[in-house]
Structures are given as structure tokens and as C-alpha cells.
Amino acid sequence: MKLTENARLILEKRYLRKENGVPVETPEEMFLRVARAVAEAEKEFAPQLSPEELEEYVRKFYDLMVSLDFLPNSPTLMNAGRPLGQLSACFVLPVEDSMEEIFTALKDAALIHKSGGGTGFSFSRLRPKNSPVRSTGGLASGPVSFMKVFNAATEAIKQGGTRRGANMGILRVDHPDIVEFISCKEDNKELTNFNISVGLTKEFMEAVARDDYYELKFGDKVYEKLKARDVFDKIVSHAWANGEPGIVFLDRLNEGNPTPELGEIEATNPCGEQPLLPYEACNLGSINLSHMVENGEILWDKLARTVYWSVRFLDNVIEINRFPIEKITAMVRGNRKIGLGVMGWADMLFKLRIPYDSEEAVNLGEKVMSFIQGEAAKASQSLAEERGSFPNIERSIYRGTKRRNATCTTIAPTGTISMIAGTTSGIEPVFALAYTKNVLDGESLIEVNPVFEEYIRTNFSPEIGREIIRQVAATGSVKDIAEIPADMRRVFVTALEISPEWHIRMQAAFQKFTDNAVSKTVNFPPTATKEDVRRAYELAYQLGCKGVTVYRSGSREQEVLVTGARAKDRREGDRSRDKTYPRPRPKRTIGVTEQVKTGCGKMYITVNYDQEGLIETFITTGSSGGCSGFTEGVSRLISLALRANIAPEAIIDQLTSVSCPNFLRRRATDKGIIGKSCPDIIGRVLARELKNWQEFGTNLEANLAAAWEEISATLEGCRQDNERPSEDELIRQGICPECGSRLRHQEGCVTCSCGFSKCG
């Protein structure tokens, strides 16, 4: 197989069958295990199949995966052909308004998490806080308090399975506790195992447009009326602050509900792309679009064949799936929902030399997904002829026709499976064209987008190509690389260089031809305003999206070092007071200390690094080293500037421009003194260490990764050790708890290039 080193590391750590912690199958053997298990379903529908005919299906499914043209979701790769046998990632459970039903949902969620799935809940059926409880005479504690119970349970069991548990919590915008819900993740230490989204209604959005009031109600009782625009502002403000809550448009979810007689859709899975009825699950898989291009042309015939076999594969998965709850088995087999999606969209655009943020790309997105949707429907109809329609078809929008699956398409997150396939994730643009990453064994290397790497290799000499990649690895972008022609810099655009409008338009383009929903993060730069977020939400509603997740870069990790009224101003985004504040100092750094001789005596200069580069200095003087207060002040200001993301080059330029007459006089008699002032010497040392970081950053980062690996290897022990950061603490700092690399926010979740995902 053509697997990258990163893909093999991810497979070894997360997917391959192990004994005593050691892999006992190769990647090829894993795919053969999965292919054999999935092909077994063929015998359910054609008992007369000969062993040779069955082996042909095994070979088809095996080739589909080892070619990396298609991959199923992670639970299928992990569990197919193994005793657990639970192959789905997406579930929704009902939460009804009684203690017995609440804790039944909690128990069911625990069983799903243990088996490797994620769960979505609507808490809208729970009575509001302080409502009377007739059976006890007490008062209800409300949806948010029970979400904390679910969160604690997930925390307790998340170490037991192969994937950490993840939840989605949704509350209708007209629930009386909606204001408390909107702010329930204001503190990033709360509800760490939940993504949250507000369920917006058509009535609410119309009230926002009219600047009118709307009712908060539960049952037949109206609790109060709120200004719709004020509530919308709160949603926007909190999403701007840390990315939560997201929003889902409940009416849109139900417009696409294929079985309305069976119930109303109130919730989605953790990343928001799979709306489901209570006790439903969905099997997901993704086609690698980067493999559907050759010589600048889309291979439509190959894409059609891949869709056909992928649909058959996913329908077979339903048949062999072993769910932990009988009600889920009944619902899944009754509706037979599958979710075929895509990965490698950004790579396809790179190969076609089409900028992501262009009309051409949006139009092509519609064309590609329309084709996949049509071919998936034809494949489902063909399977219905062969195997029969899904049992609930006469209670669906497809009554009177033949169709094997109530839904066929979903654009899901493809985090780790796209890493295995060596392509870009889902329909997301690339986060960085090249970057230095910490791999699972504590080493580090430069990861380069394969299409970009091929372009560099084809168009530049090896020496120039290496220099370009080194420069791109430092920033992730080609926008300032003069050697690359302007039209190609326009093609190789990254997520933060794309305006939110184009993110939304691309999501809407794929949503037009997707049965379920689309998982995507709208990335904003750190300087984005609340008005920018508001416009993105409104555009998503206007263009027909089913939900939106936004993330303003750095908003979740950075802690603002202000208090009181100034902190309030900062949270509310008062542009007149919008300042840059330093990020917190990491708990571990690495660095060097130099002794230098100055015009005032000896000075000791320590320069420390973290994963992003220079972060701080400590400067002390010898017994006759001049003014210690001055050097300490300079040291603090340099550290403050570095942590506030001021370019080191700008700091160095200021320091090295300072001259001292006393210094120059002493230099005339003492040849051991260099520079023209103490600040100049400090600047020279900084410049030297900056160059070292740029030239040897991979080695330096490996040292830092090794320190983090020590933490990762003892995370379980760290739970009782307050001196070491917990997994959640590392995630809050934006650091991967497994390899120490920087985390990314995409596809509605927090992920790392090593394969770690906060959403399981």
C-alpha cells in the first residue's frame, strides 16, 4: 500500500488489532479483515453464493479500501471482523422528562461510548429550571444541570474504549432555559465532553429579521418573551469568544427528514453532520476525491463505480453491525440510513488548479456532489431491486418507489481517515501547506501537502524546492513566497486566507445535494469581529445550510490577562478597546543560556522556545554587570512581546538600533566586548537563536515533543498528580495530549495531525 509514515503510525496506534499492546496485523491485513467481514453480508441476501463468488466481493471491497479510493468511518475499520462488532460512529438518544428516562439515556450513552460511538441529545424536553416536580414536591434543576451529569459520566468512561466519548447537546431557542444554555460553555473548563448547538426555528429567525419578540415556552405555558435579536446577539457573542455554541436550523433538519411519520428530528451526532431520530445510528464512509482526477480532468466513470461499491459496502455494514441497544438495531434496520461523503476536496481543487474561494470551485462543488448524490440514489435503487426496500419505506417520502436506504449521503468529518488516505479532510481547505509536527514516537518531521509537494518538485530545483518548503513550514502559507507565481499562490490558498463567506458558500454548495448535513468549520482570523460572525450565520441561513460551526483562531486557547470591566469589554468585543494580550506561558519550554561580556560586565542571556518559536528571555547580570533592574525590565518586555505574537525580527531590529557611549568607550580598550550596547547584544543573541530555531527547529521541537511524550505516557498517573496538566487542561491550552503538537479546529471538532480527536 502507498501509505505515508504518518498514516502507518496512526494505524498502528489506533486501528490495528493488538495483543499485549503490540500490533499483530499489518494495514493490509486490517483492510482484508474488514473486507471479509463486510462481504459476509452478501450471504444474507444470496445464500447460494459459492465461495469463489463470495471471494470476488471480498476482493472488490478490499481493493476499494487499499487503493484509498474509499474508507469507512473509524469504528468499522477498528471493529469489523472483531468480537465487539459495533461499526457506527453516529447515534442520537432521546432524553425525556423523568428521572427514569434521563438515566436510561445516560446508561445507553455509556454503552455507546464504550463501543466507540458518539451521541447526540436534545435536552429540549426537560422542564425548565425551578419548575415544580409533582412526585417529590421539589424543583427541577433544568437541562444544563443534567448535561453536567452526562458530561461527568462520559469523563468517567472515556478511557475504557478505543475512542473517547463525545456528545452533542442541543436546546431549542424557545426553551425557557436558553439563555443559561448559550453561556454554559463560557468557561472552557465546563462541559468538556460536549459540543453544544442552539436549535434555531424559522419563527425565531423571522423575529430576528423583524427585530421582534418571540416566546419562551414549555408545554402549553409561555414563560416570557425575549427580543429575538438580543438572543441572537448572545449566540454570536459566545461563538465569537470560543466557538460555542454552534447553531442548527431545526426546520431545515426536518425538511430533509425522510420518515416524518416516525418522528421529528431534534438532534444530530457530535459534529453536526448527521441529523437522526431517537435511537437511530448511521454508517458513514468517504470517497477520496483527490484520486478522481488525472491530467487535470475529473474521472467521472471511476467516480461512478466508486460510488456504487461504496453504497453496497455501507449497506452491508448495516447487516453485520452489532449494536449495544436493541432499540437502535430496530431503528437502523428499519430505515437503513447510510452517509456516503467525500474527502480530498481541497486536493482535487489543487490538482485542477482552481482556487477554493472562487465561483468556479463553488460551481464544481455543486456538480461533483450532485453527481455523487445521483449515483448513490441509483445504487440504492439497484440494491432495492436485489434485496428489497428499507422496511419503513411506506411511512416515508419514498412510498410507492423502490429504495434500499432512507438516506444515502452525508459530508462527515474525515479527520483520521483522511490522514490514512494521505489527503485533505472532508470539504475543508488545507489548514497549512507544510508544517512541522510531532509524531507519535516523540520525533518530529515536516509534513507537506502531497499535491503542493509534487508541484514544487516538478517546477523547482531540489535546492530551491527545499528552501521554499522550509519557508512554507514556518508559516503554513505561500502568500509571501515570491518564487511561486501569483496565479499558483492563488490556487494554494489555506483556511485562514479564505474569507468566511467562501467557507459558507462552499458548505451550501455541497448541502444542496446531500441528504443529511455537512460537517464544516468556518474559520475566522483572530481579528474577526462579532459582526463578521453574525454575517456568516445569516448567510448560512439564507443559502440553505442546516447548521454552522465557527471558530476564531486562537479564541479558545488564549487567556486574556485582564480583569473587571476591561475583561468585560474584551469579551464583548468592544473594538475601541480591542488590544493584543499575551498568551499564557507554557508549563514547559526548552532553550539555551549564553554568557556574554558587555561594557558593563558579564551578562547571562537565556532564550526559551515552545512549539511556535521564541517565547521568552531571562537576563541576569554578574556581580559587576551593571543595572540588574534594567536587564530584568528589558527581559520582561521582550517576553511579553514574544507571547503577544510580535515578530521576533521587529524586536531584534529595535534592540540592535540602540547605542551606548559608555559601551563604545570601553570597547576601545577591551577587545572582548562585542556590540554597541546591552540591548544590542541582547538583540544579537535573539537573532542568533531565531536563526537556530528556523534552521534546526525540527530538532528543537523534537526535544519539546519528548518532554510532552513523558506527560502523554503517564496521563493516567497524572490524574492524581496536580502538578502535571490533565488531558482537558492540555486541550484548553491548544496542545495535543498525545503528541504535543498544536491542535486545530476543523469539521466541528478539535483535532491533531497525529490522529487525536476530541470528538472521538
- As a whole number of angstroms, the distance between CA 329 and CA 317 comes to 12
Angle, helices 300-320/51-66, rounded to nearest 10 degrees? 120
Residues 6+ positions from 755 with CB-CB distance below 8 Å = 9, 10, 13, 14, 415, 416, 419, 440
- pLDDT at residue number 663: 66
**d(C-alpha 715, C-alpha 726), whole Å:** 7
Q: Hunting for cell 487525536 — which residue is that?
A: 756
E strand or H helix at 170: strand 167-172
Is the separation of the CB atoms in 280 and 335 below 8 Å?
yes
Q: How confident is the model at residue 576 (pLDDT cuts 50, 70, 90)?
A: very low
Provide φ and ψ at 105, rounded to 5°: -60, -40
CA-only gyration radius of the chain, Å: 28
Please state the pTM of the whole predicted model.
Answer: 0.79
Give the best-scoring range by mean pLDDT among 311-320, 678-687, 724-733, 735-744: 311-320
Give the CA-trace dihedral at 120, 252, 180, 227, to 10 degrees: 180
CB 454 within 8 A of CB 44: no
Topology (CATH level 3) of domain 90-268? Anaerobic Ribonucleotide-triphosphate Reductase Large Chain (3.20.70)
Beta strands in 453-511 (DSSP E): none
**DSSP summary character for residue 497:** G
- The one-character DSSP state at 409 is B
Distances (CA, A) of 755 to 14, 81, 104, 457, 696: 8, 23, 32, 27, 25
Listing DSSP states for 645-692 in one string gives: T--HHHHHHHHTT---HHHHHHHHH-TT--SSSHHHHHHHHHHHHHHH
Q: What is the pLDDT of residue 572?
A: 42
pLDDT mean over 338-360: 98
Count CB atoms within 10 A of the CB of residue 444: 24
Q: Which residues have CB under 8 Å from 6's CB, separation 6+?
A: 419, 437, 439, 447, 753, 754
Residues 600, 274: Cα–Cα separation, whole Å: 68
Summarised one tens digit per residue, pLDDT across range 601-654 is 788 889 988 767 788 898 888 755 457 777 888 888 998 888 888 888 889 878
* CATH architecture under which domain 5-85+272-421 falls: Alpha-Beta Barrel (3.20)
Residue 544 pLDDT grade (very low, low, confident, very high; cuts 50, 70, 90): very high
Contact 279, 325 (CB under 8 A): yes
**683-733 pLDDT per residue, tens:** 888 888 887 776 655 444 454 455 445 544 544 444 444 455 677 777 877
**Residue 438: what pLDDT?**
58
Distance, in Å, from the CA atom of 363 to the CA atom of 513, rounded to the nearest integer, reads 12
DSSP code at position 742: B
Backbone angles phi, psi at 497, to 5 degrees: -90, -5
CA angle 549/450/752 to nearest 5° reads 40
Catalytic residues: 269, 271, 273
Q: What are phi and psi of 89, to 5 degrees?
A: -105, -20
Which has more pLDDT, 496 or 575? 496
| Residue tagged 437511530 (cell numbers) | 280
pLDDT (0 to 100) of residue 35: 98
213-222, 567-576, 680-689: which has the highest mean pLDDT? 213-222
- Is residue 381 within 8 Å of 403, Cβ to Cβ? yes
CA angle 241–505–349, rounded 5-degree value: 110
Per DSSP, 547 falls in state E
Q: CA torsion, points 5, 7, 13, 15, in degrees to nearest 10? A: -150
CA distance 435 to 613: 13
Whether the Cβ atoms of residue 380 and residue 404 lie closer than 8 Å to each other: yes
Distance of CA 212 to the CA centre of its chain: 35
| Pair 416, 757: CB distance under 8 Å | yes
pLDDT digits (tens, 9 = 90+) for 607-620: 988 767 788 898 88
Cell, residue 610: 515552545
Three cell numbers written together for 35: 473486507
Residue found by looking up cell 475543508 in the block: 428
Tell me what pLDDT residue 561 has.
25
pLDDT digits (tens, 9 = 90+) for 660-682: 766 666 665 666 667 788 888 89
